[in-house]
Structure 1
């Protein structure tokens, strides 16, 4: 009995020593991983918070020790969808403009659901964070707005919403051949693009982001954007994008633009504006 007691005491001592060492290490080493905590509130005022963490040891799939599956049976809930399973915590190896994180949710009551960012840690300032509603093809910027509120009927939505980091799916670039006097790709026009021209009523910000090869539009006045045209510095039309659905903000992937200077021309119901940009 005495030998057994001594062994137990020794094991307990070693366990406490090891636990203390791990505790001290975890508190001395700063956790610099990117973390996004996403909140969900149901029509019944039930709340859920889910977490995604970037860790080089994890993958976009299911990883033991990095992903926490949802085994609860709540009347209303939200979760990450990984390999058709529900998770409250997920680890992934990278989050950038190409990342898509599927979301699932269910609600027992008709009404407004709310999705919002509740905490960001070590997230780059220039990283977009938004939710794409694939049913309506509308992208909601939840990083620069308070929350997304949307009315849903009672039911399960496992393939409708995605957390995205680029507003590429909110842009429809299908040409409209019925419009008259539309410029044609390759056609040159004679106009003065030397200075930026902005109609006083056009309350928008127009820029080019080289890092993700995209035109950025901030639709401050929530106006109807008719089209965006990309001209060479000599006035030749290079690309055109139409039917742009920019509620607050949109990013248009330009693809294969050579390095150099270009002119962006945006037309809206309030007027037009141009911006000289450099593509690197």
Structure 2
């Protein structure tokens, strides 16, 4: 096999991208420097002792091996990532490097491999403080190891594994609190080492590569993340049929960064849920915790709308098993994607991302799998966001997602709540298979109903309203239907407030798009009459009380608009041709100028 030897090679942003057709070998005392670009390597990387590979200014490596890693060498790859917390809060990490070794393959990582940059290419190893130390320090970079934990196939807060300086396998995620103070001794690419709660870490070691196994267990969660020195397409990992032992979602820790305490009872946070099939992120509802780490009261909800599709270098997240077995991180998920909100690649940042996009397709994105991203929509699946105020304390957001390929039952496009089965004081959720979900996905049908549940341990007030229509315009109305009163409450144009007694209410409420019975006395059966005349192939609307009709629409059972007529006035009689329509059941929607609405099913068939 041909080897390419790099001695002193400088690749900067004005030069073309480097593609290495076989191995990449950096000899002892030499280095490769890449700035604001990517390098593609077909086979392994060999970093000889004192040979270094510097990735700077969002540079990344794409490797194309389809099996396990064969990277080798006592030299180091160096890549930066900035944490986003101070010494009181956690970031969730997954290292892109392991220990530099003469043995081929991925190796374990320890926090001793974190460095503090002192120049463009030089760094000093972080100081590892005693186990008793509470606070990390920015300058010189000092890490408190008592906050380094892993979470492997477990369920409860007490299951976190205290790791400190112990080895962490490739593909295993870990938590670590940040540092106190600032470090303005070095500014690179406009970013200080630490401008305050934004510590720059230099990962140094052998680059991870190839298939990385992650063992999962049914109904258990595992902290993993992006294990490579490049971004990954998280959707590709979550939806890969070979990874069917996980549920297709990734959980991201969010927290109140104004809380400056090491006491668990002072924490406020929760997990947001990202679904790989829909690209929809449901933000966390924040809860308070007791001293044992159990959720107690609802705290707040910032509703940070992260874009999560492309996980940047170092990003950690939880996955949930639906079977005992293994899933794999693979090189085919790797992409070159610079970090930033506009690129849908964020390392746990609080920047808000707009649901509106000027261009619905991605630009060219270099990647290992050969995906033409210019043919891939950057928009999430069409969905409706619904917010519920939980007893005036916080907000739970849920999403109705519409995908033609989704079934009415459970599939990977549905996203279970991160708090499913928890003893929460208040909550709202979709009820699917008697479980609690924050996303319910199906093919759109205007007649479909979404069962929603509420639970509360005291008599509570809920306020429910539609928050947004995202990439979706197939219905004009959304209702919360109360089966006990047989009333439909408009939650699109107004907030519906109600109070319910303590308990779990999983069978009383539904979200619908059609109000089959309306409490408005103007529609008392004599105001409007909808008749289908199949002999004459006409839809007839009688309007004996001269209602001012704003719109008449005809829909099929999938919610597709067959026709719509507007500004019809107050005639006593209207007739619309149904000739040529397929035999089926249809929905007729009549809306008056004062926003009253009548919906009626009709049957169209050929007279024989």
TM-score between both structures, scaled by the size of structure 1:
0.60
Q: Does 1:11 align with 2:208?
A: yes
Instruction: Judge conservation of contact 2:387–2:465 (CA < 8 Å) in 1.
Output: yes
- Cα distance between partner residues in 2 of 1:10 and 1:207: 62
Mapping of 1:50-69 within 5 angstroms?
A: 50-64=398-412, 66-69=414-417
Match of 2:431 in 1: 81
* 1:7 shift after superposition: 4.5
User: Over residues 84-143 of structure 1, what are the superposed CA-to-partner deviations in whole Å (9 max), with x where a residue is unaligned?
Assistant: 211122322x12312111000012333432011122201216442111111111111222
* 1:207 shift after superposition: 4.0
Match of 1:121 in 2: 470
What's the secondary structure of 1:91's corresponding residue? strand
- Cα distance between partner residues in 1 of 2:103 and 2:414: 37
Mapping of 1:123-142 within 5 angstroms?
A: 123-124=472-473, 126-142=475-491
Match of 1:208 in 2: 552
- Cα distance between partner residues in 1 of 2:382 and 2:451: 18
Match of 1:191 in 2: none
- Cα distance between partner residues in 2 of 1:40 and 1:96: 24
Pair 116,232 (structure 1): closer, same or farther in 2 beyond 3 Å: closer
Match of 1:256 in 2: 603
Match of 1:156 in 2: 504
Aligned with residue 337 of structure 2, among 3, 19, 24:
24
Instruction: Judge conservation of contact 2:430–2:452 (CA < 8 Å) in 1.
Output: yes
Pair 23,50 (structure 1): closer, same or farther in 2 beyond 3 Å: farther
Higher gyration radius (CA): 2
- Cα distance between partner residues in 2 of 1:7 and 1:65: 32
- Cα distance between partner residues in 1 of 2:385 and 2:336: 24
- Cα distance between partner residues in 1 of 2:603 and 2:403: 32
* 1:82 shift after superposition: 0.6
**Can you give the 5+ residue segments of structure 1 that lack an aligned partner in the other structure?**
180-184, 186-195, 217-228, 234-246, 260-280
Pair 23,119 (structure 1): closer, same or farther in 2 beyond 3 Å: farther
Instruction: Judge conservation of contact 1:214–1:252 (CA < 8 Å) in 2.
Output: no
* 1:147 shift after superposition: 0.8
Higher relative contact order, structure no. (Cα contacts within 8 Å, ≥ 6 residues apart): 1
> Would you tell me which structure has more helix in proportion to its own residues?
1
TM-score between both structures, scaled by the size of structure 2:
0.30
Mapping of 1:36-47 within 5 angstroms?
A: 36-47=384-395
Pair 65,139 (structure 1): closer, same or farther in 2 beyond 3 Å: closer
What's the secondary structure of 1:123's corresponding residue? coil
**Can you give the 5+ residue segments of structure 2 that lack an aligned partner in the other structure?**
1-99, 108-205, 211-226, 233-311, 313-333, 345-361, 363-376, 532-542, 557-561, 566-571, 577-593
Moved more, 27-36 or 12-21: 12-21
| CA RMSD after TM alignment | 4.2
What's the secondary structure of 2:453's corresponding residue? strand
- Cα distance between partner residues in 1 of 2:447 and 2:405: 19
